[in-house]
């Protein structure tokens, strides 16, 4: 006998501003590296997203806005019209399953290597090296380098690149875009005092460090209505050597300022499964509810039970699931029917560049029982 889900809130429909979602389960953006050396969306990616389109909302893997923003092998792009055209097959595959899809806009900043950039150093708000493990590059594993500090006059040019990427995403037919301001990538590097030691109008005070994100949001909302633009933050994260002593002040201020925009949602990586900087008490969704009145999305380490509790208690409106979605393409169906989850896939198959470890995970099949 099938055990019915105990997730009436998680699986209920939700009006995300003007978009009706069939449930509150979100496919988190997961870098899967299947776009090839030309960073071109393709039919394999369309199959992958279609398999997982029982989610109410899909956020695509991080998608680079420019060649300068590259820092992963085979990640997709949105800096060419041809790439925007190629995304259409994926959008259609998701829409055919009744789901909505946002494109995540990405610039990695210092989390890159000169081998991605014809020998030019990666850029960052300040010339501070990422203290971390080796990075995978076109020439194999390499040590991180000291990035080049961006000149003040270069920064508005990058803001304009975000705007053009947002334009391409809209022309391709996405339902919205998410600005990646988390996990130690470029916008997060500007936001946090650990990585931003500038003495111009983009550095120093909390207000100045927020300025780059503020300008990116303003540029993107010139293309999209604000209610189709999300922003992702990682207040507790240590990934890419992050974690600032003034994180409470920084992220509270950022969320309060973003509240004025009328965003589609604020996507907060509140869970600690991705690492914790231990600069103080972890920020929780309630901290953001106090200063952000719009839709709030939790992420990182949630189970079906904890996600249901977060929504039922009004801590969150949606919950994004990452790793469970890799090996459980039918995650919503498993939640709904009380079916067990498949074990997490081994990390060495996540980035095979082929269908293995990507589209070859099977939906749940009940075992027949002899009577």
Burial of 126 from C-beta contacts in 10 A (0-12 / 13-18 / 19+): buried
37 token code pair: 């050396």
The structure tokens 């019915």 sit at 4
333 token code pair: 């169906």
Separation of alpha carbons 289 and 256, rounded Å: 10
Q: Residue 261 in contact with residue 284, Cβ under 8 Å?
A: no
Q: Could you give the residue numbers annotated as active site?
A: 185
């Amino acid at each position: 006998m099938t055990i019915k889900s105990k997730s009436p809130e998680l699986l209920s429909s939700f009006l995300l501003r003007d978009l009706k979602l069939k449930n509150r389960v979100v496919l988190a953006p997961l870098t899967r590296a299947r776009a090839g050396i030309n960073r071109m969306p393709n039919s394999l990616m369309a199959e992958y997203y279609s398999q997982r389109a029982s989610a109410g909302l899909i956020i695509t893997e991080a998608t680079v806005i420019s060649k300068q923003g590259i820092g992963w092998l085979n990640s997709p792009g949105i800096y060419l019209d041809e790439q925007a055209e190629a995304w259409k097959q994926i959008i259609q595959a998701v829409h055919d399953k009744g789901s909505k899809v946002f494109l995540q806009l990405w610039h990695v900043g210092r989390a890159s290597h000169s081998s991605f950039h014809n020998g030019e150093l990666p850029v960052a708000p300040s010339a501070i090296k990422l203290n971390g493990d080796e990075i995978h590059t076109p020439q194999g594993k390499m040590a991180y380098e000291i990035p080049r500090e961006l000149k003040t006059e270069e920064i508005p040019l990058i803001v304009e690149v975000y705007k053009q990427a947002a334009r391409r995403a809209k022309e391709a037919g996405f339902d919205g875009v998410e600005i990646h301001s988390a996990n130690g990538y470029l916008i997060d590097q500007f936001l946090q005092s650990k990585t931003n030691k500038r003495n111009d109008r983009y550095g120093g005070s909390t207000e100045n460090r927020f300025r780059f994100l503020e300008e990116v949001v303003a540029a993107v909302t010139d293309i999209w209505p604000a209610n189709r633009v999300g922003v992702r933050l990682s207040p507790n994260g240590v990934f890419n050597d992050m974690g600032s002593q003034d994180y409470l002040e920084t992220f509270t201020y950022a969320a309060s300022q973003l509240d004025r925009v009328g965003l589609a949602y604020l996507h907060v990586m509140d869970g600690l499964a991705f690492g914790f900087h231990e600069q103080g008490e972890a920020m929780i969704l309630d901290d953001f509810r106090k200063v952000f009145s719009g839709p709030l999305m939790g992420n990182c380490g949630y189970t079906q039970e904890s996600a249901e509790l977060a929504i039922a208690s009004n801590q969150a409106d949606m919950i994004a699931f990452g790793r469970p979605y890799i090996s459980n393409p039918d995650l919503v169906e498993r939640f709904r029917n009380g079916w067990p989850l498949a074990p997490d896939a081994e990390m060495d198959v996540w980035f095979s560049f082929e269908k293995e470890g990507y589209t070859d995970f099977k939906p749940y099949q009940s075992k027949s029982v002899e009577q």
